[in-house]
Structure 1
Amino acid sequence: MPATDSLTPIPSHEELAERYAPLLDVVRAAAAEADEAGELPPQVFAALRSSGILGAAIAVEHGGLGGDAVLTNRLIELVAAADPSLAIILFQHYAVSARIGEWGSAEQRGGYLPLLASGEWIAASAWSESGAGADKRNLSTKARRSDDGWVLDGAKTFTTGAGIAQLYLVLAQSSEPGDTDSTYGSDGQTFFLVESGTPGLVADTGMDLVGMRASATGFVELHECQVDSGSVLGPVGRATSIIAGVRESGATLGAVSTGIAESAYRLVMAHAERRGLARQQAARHRLVDLGARVEAARALVERAGRKDADDPGTTTLYSKVIASTVSEEVCQEALRLLGSAGFLRGHQLNKLARDARAVGLMGPTNDLCRDLVSAGWAR
C-alpha cells in the first residue's frame, strides 16, 4: 500500500480491519511466539513497514496518510487487539511523528517525516529515567552546549522501541530548573531528535518485562553524545510547552487498552459458545456487562480523538484511566468465566491480562493522569 494513499474521510473500524488485514494476520500469528521470546520476529516488522500504517499521523505532503487522532486511535486499537506489544511501538512512533509535524523545523519535517511515513524508519520516545518520577521533573540526563551544537549525557529507562528505532525523541535538562507550574516536566528541559547511529548513543533491550514483553522496552544510554543545533525540537528550555500539548492531541493509550479489552471479550465469547454458557442466565448477564464496558471504553477513546469535549485534554486523560481500568477488569472477569482453563500458562487471556496491567503503568501513569486532571482543584 503506498504511504501517500490518504485515509480521509476516516474509515470505520471494520473498514480499517479489512484494509490492514494482511498486517494483522501476520501480527496475530506471531503474538504468542513473540511474547515467549520477548521480541517481535522479523516478519512482523517486514509487514509493519510495508503496510503503510506507520504514516498515519504524518501529513500527505510528507508521504503520510494525513490522519488525525481519531484515525490513529482506531489503528492502535486494531493492532492492540492482535498484539499489544506492537501497538505500543506504533503508538510511540505516531507520537514522535506528530510532535515533529507540529514543532519541527522545515528541515526536520522534510528530512525525517518521509522516512517515518514510508516505514523505512521507526521513531521512539526516550523520556523516562530512574529517579525522575512519573512527572519527569527531576531529570538526570543533561544537555550542555558545545561549539557546534549540544552534548547529551544520561540514561533513559523504559524506552519502548529501544534498539529497533532509528530516531529517538530525547528529553534532557538543558539548564537549571526554576519555578514552574507544570505538573509534568519542568522548565529548563529541551527535546532532542537523536538518530540511532549517533556516537555515544547505546540502546539495550535487556529488560525482562512481565507484560508487553515484545515491545522492545529497554534502556537508552547517552555518553558524550554530540548532536548539532538542528537536533533541537521546539524551543530550547521549553519542553513543557510540547508536553502540555500532548494531552490536547487526542491520541491516547486508552486505545491500546480498548484493543486488549476487545480481544479478551472475543476470546471469552468464543469460549462461552463452545461451552454452551449462553444457556445460563447468570453467564449471559456477565457477558453483556463485559461487552458494555468495552463499548464504553471505546466511546471515550473515540471522543478523545475527536477533541470535541469542553476540555479535550481532560477527556484524553480520562480515556487513559478508564480504558486501562476496563481492560484489566474485562481480562480478569473473562478469566473467571473460563474456569480451570484460565490456569493454563499459555492461554492467550493470561498474556492479555499482563499486557492490560502494563498500560496503566505507562506514562502518563494513571495516578499522574489523576494529578494532571485535579491539579487546579485545590487552588
Structure 2
Amino acid sequence: MKPQLGPELAARLRESAEKAAAAGEPDRETLAALRADGLLATAVPRAHGGAGGDGAEVNRVVTEIAAANPSVAIIAFQHFAVSARIAEWGTEEQKRTLLPRLADGTLLAASAWSENGAGAAKQNLASTGVRTPGGGWVLNGAKTFTTGAAVADLYLVLVKTGEDAAGGEGAYGAAGQTFFLVGADNPGLVPDLCLDLAGMRGSATGLLALDACVVSDEDRLGPEGHAAPIIAGVRETGATLGAVSAGIAQAAFDLALSHARSRGLLELGAVRHRLVALATRLETVRAAVERAGARTAPDPGLATLHSKLHATMAAEEICLDVARMLGSAGYGAGTTADRLLADARGVGLMGPTNDLCRELVALSWTA
C-alpha cells in the first residue's frame, strides 16, 4: 500500500505548525508521531522494509505533509533524500543495517552539507576528513543550516577529503569531497539550534559542529573524493523541494477559501474570480511538481530544477495574495497567513537555492 497521511496525523501536524512557529523550535512529540505513522518508509526499497516509492511518491507525500506543516515536510524530505542515497550508493552492509530502521522510523535522517563560506554550490568546503593510520577518519569543521539538527539520528555529512577541484561554473559540489554517515550518538558531532529563523521555525534548522569526529571507513557513503556525482544524480530522481512549496500553496488557498466562505464573500463575483485565479496558479505548481516526479521530460534533471523554481516563486506569490485578501485578518504577526508566507520564502533559500537552480539551468545551455 502507498503511504498516506491520515486525518489524525494531519490534524496534529496543523496544530503543531502553529505551536512550533510561536516557540521557534521543533515539536518532538509530533515528530515521534510521524516516526510511528509509516510515512518515513516512502523512499526505502521494499526489499529493505520500505514502500519502494519513487520521486513521484516522495513528492506526493511531502506535499501532503507540507499542506499541514511545512517545517515537518522539510524534515521528511531530507529523510527521504538520505534514504534514497543510501539505497543507491550504500554498501550491502549499510543497506542491511540502516534502511530497515529508516523505514520503520527508528532512525530519522538529515543532511549536513552547507557551511559558511562554501557558497550555495558547496565548492569551497572548509570541513575536512583526514584518514587515520588505522584506516578510519577524523572529521572536523562546522555545518550550518542543517535541517533536522538535534532531532535526527543519522546525518549525511559532506567534507573535503582531497584536493579541491571545482566542477565548473554552476556545478554543485566538487571533486575531492566525500560523504559520511554519522550517528547522532557520535561524541564528536554536536548540534546547536541557535538559529532564529523567520520561517520554517519548527524544522530544527541549526548548526552542526564536527569536533574530532571519529568515523570508520565503513561509514563512508560512495567512493572517496567523488561526492559530486552523487549530488548531481539526485535531481534525476524527480524528487523536488517544490513539493514543499506545493503544500504551502495548497494551505494558503484553503485558508483564503475558508475565509471567504465564513464571511459570505463567495456571493461576490470579484471574490470568486480572485479565488479562481489563485486556484489556477496552484494547478501550475502541482503540474510542475508532478512532471518532475513523473520523469517524462526530455531532461528529467532540468524538469526538477524548473519545478523547484516555479513552485517556490508561485507559492510565495499565492501566499502574498492570500494575505492581501484576508486584509487585517492576515496582517498580524503570528497569524497563519504570516507563517505560511515566511515558510514559502524559506524554501527558495534551501538547497539547491533558487539562485543555484538558475545557474544549473543556464549551464545546461552552454554544456
User: How does the TM-score come out when normalised to structure 2?
Assistant: 0.97
Query: Cα offset for 1:40?
Result: 2.8
Query: Cα offset for 1:179?
Result: 5.2
Question: SS of 1:317's equivalent?
Answer: helix
Checking the alignment, whether the CA contact within 8 Å between 2:123 and 2:166 is kept in structure 1 is: no
Residue 218 of structure 2 corresponds to: 230
Counterpart amino acid of residue 236 in structure 1: E
Checking the alignment, whether the CA contact within 8 Å between 2:138 and 2:212 is kept in structure 1 is: yes
Question: Are 2:79 and 1:86 aligned?
Answer: no
Counterpart amino acid of residue 325 in structure 1: M
Query: Cα offset for 1:119?
Result: 0.4
Identity, in percent, stands at: 53
Counterpart amino acid of residue 173 in structure 2: G
Query: Cα offset for 1:283?
Result: 2.0
Q: Could you list the per-position Cα deviations for residues 34-88 of structure 1 after superposition, in whole angstroms to 9, with x for gaps in the alignment?
A: 1111223333022111100011000112111111111110110011011100000
| Separation in structure 1 between the aligned mates of residue 164 and residue 176 of structure 2, nearest angstrom | 5
Question: Are 2:231 and 1:243 aligned?
Answer: yes
Q: Could you list the per-position Cα deviations for residues 302-323 of structure 1 after superposition, in whole angstroms to 9, with x for gaps in the alignment?
A: 1111111111000000000000
Counterpart amino acid of residue 153 in structure 1: N
Where do 1:249-288 residues align within 5 Å?
249-288=237-276
Residue 189 of structure 2 corresponds to: 201
Residue 141 of structure 1 corresponds to: 127
Checking the alignment, whether the CA contact within 8 Å between 1:126 and 1:170 is kept in structure 2 is: yes
Question: Are 2:282 and 1:294 aligned?
Answer: yes
**Equivalent in 203, 208, 213 of residue 215 of structure 1:** 203
**Equivalent in 23, 33, 56 of residue 37 of structure 1:** 23
Structure 2 spans left out of the alignment, 5+ residues: none
| Separation in structure 2 between the aligned mates of residue 243 and residue 208 of structure 1, nearest angstrom | 28
Counterpart amino acid of residue 349 in structure 1: A
> Over the residues paired in the alignment, what is the CA RMSD in angstroms?
1.3
Residue 95 of structure 1 corresponds to: 81
Checking the alignment, whether the CA contact within 8 Å between 1:26 and 1:43 is kept in structure 2 is: no
Question: Are 2:350 and 1:362 aligned?
Answer: yes
Residue 116 of structure 1 corresponds to: 102
Checking the alignment, whether the CA contact within 8 Å between 2:178 and 2:226 is kept in structure 1 is: yes
Residue 3 of structure 1 corresponds to: none
Q: Could you list the per-position Cα deviations for residues 280-327 of structure 1 after superposition, in whole angstroms to 9, with x for gaps in the alignment?
A: 322222111100111110111011111111110000000000000111
Query: Cα offset for 1:376?
Result: 3.6
| Separation in structure 2 between the aligned mates of residue 163 and residue 193 of structure 1, nearest angstrom | 15
| Separation in structure 2 between the aligned mates of residue 218 and residue 42 of structure 1, nearest angstrom | 15
| Separation in structure 2 between the aligned mates of residue 279 and residue 264 of structure 1, nearest angstrom | 20
Residue 311 of structure 2 corresponds to: 323
Residue 176 of structure 1 corresponds to: 163
Counterpart amino acid of residue 299 in structure 1: A
Q: 1:180/1:341 Cα in 2 relative to 1: closer, same or farther (>3 Å)?
A: closer
Checking the alignment, whether the CA contact within 8 Å between 2:245 and 2:311 is kept in structure 1 is: yes
Structure 1 spans left out of the alignment, 5+ residues: 1-5
- Larger deviation: 365-374 or 178-187? 178-187
Question: Are 2:63 and 1:77 aligned?
Answer: yes
